Amino acid sequence: MDKSNTYLFHYFYVTSLFFVFLFQLKSLDQYICNLMYVSWRTTLTESLHSAYFQGRVYYILNVLREDIDNPDQRISQDVERLCKQMSTMASRLIVSPFTISYYTYQCFQSTGWIGPVSIFGYFVVGTIANKILMGPIVSTLFEQEKLEGDFRFKHMQIRVNAESVAFYRAGKVEHMRTDRRLQALLQTQKNLINKELWLYIGVNTFDYLGGFLSYIIIAIPIFTGIYDGLSPGELSALISKVGLFFLTAHGDLFLIS
């Protein structure tokens, strides 16, 4: 009993140290990603500012160029979103190639060439299908962002010119104009939601079919007699292991795409 308690406490101590180290490593990863976000946003925004305020570029973009909408939104909001998303994905993008290589090799060891070929073939088919489904969404999303900027700009106009609006008693007129921009924005958002439905169906279908495909991959060597020497318990463990290899490699591949 004393030896069991000593072993239990030792195991608990080692496990606790491991988890403390893991938590610290995860926190450090998040901290570095946030520093990268600030650094990237600083560099990109300052570069855009240098081009924006050079000569009369700011006047040309805001007054003379009708094909460029809301430059202020592009510099402030879009840059922030881009840098935030890139910093969030940075750590996984660095680790993913090693993870994909490891699990692809493990899958090859368990299933032969059919495992890696199935993983990358399924990835190619899924990427092409999602690319086709994503095509109609891009233009609608761009239109939504444009209308979001117009709607925000209208409220900014009212805030800046509130005294003049009140003096001319133009509250009802501005109410109608603002609601008109809101309705255009909401209609575009509805169109975007309808188009995104098909993308969600495609993405979720390929996600769930991935688990089913992993069983097909391991079923081929099983039914051809390669694993006849394994016991039911060992065979069950092999099936679970191959499923983990396939889903992990498949998920990291779709992250990179």
pLDDT-based confidence at 3, cuts 50/70/90?
low
Chain segment 93-119, per-residue pLDDT in tens = 777 777 778 777 777 777 777 777 877
Question: Which residue is it, tokens 């600030």?
Answer: 38
Contacts of 137 (CB under 8 A, 6+ apart): 192, 195, 196, 199
Q: Helices 232-256 and 79-111 meet at what angle, rounded to 10? A: 150
Which tokens go with 61?
């973009």
pTM exceeding 0.85 = no
170: phi then psi, degrees, rounded to nearest 5: -100, 25
228-255: average pLDDT: 70
- Mean pLDDT along residues 144-167: 86
Count of C-beta atoms within a 10 Å radius of residue 198? 14
Please name which of 53, 50, 48, 29 lies closest in space to residue 37, comparing C-alpha atoms: 29
Mean pLDDT, range 150-172, rounded to an integer: 85
Q: Give, for 71, the enclosing helix (H) or strand (E).
A: helix 71-73
The CA angle 87-83-56, to the nearest 5 degrees, is 160
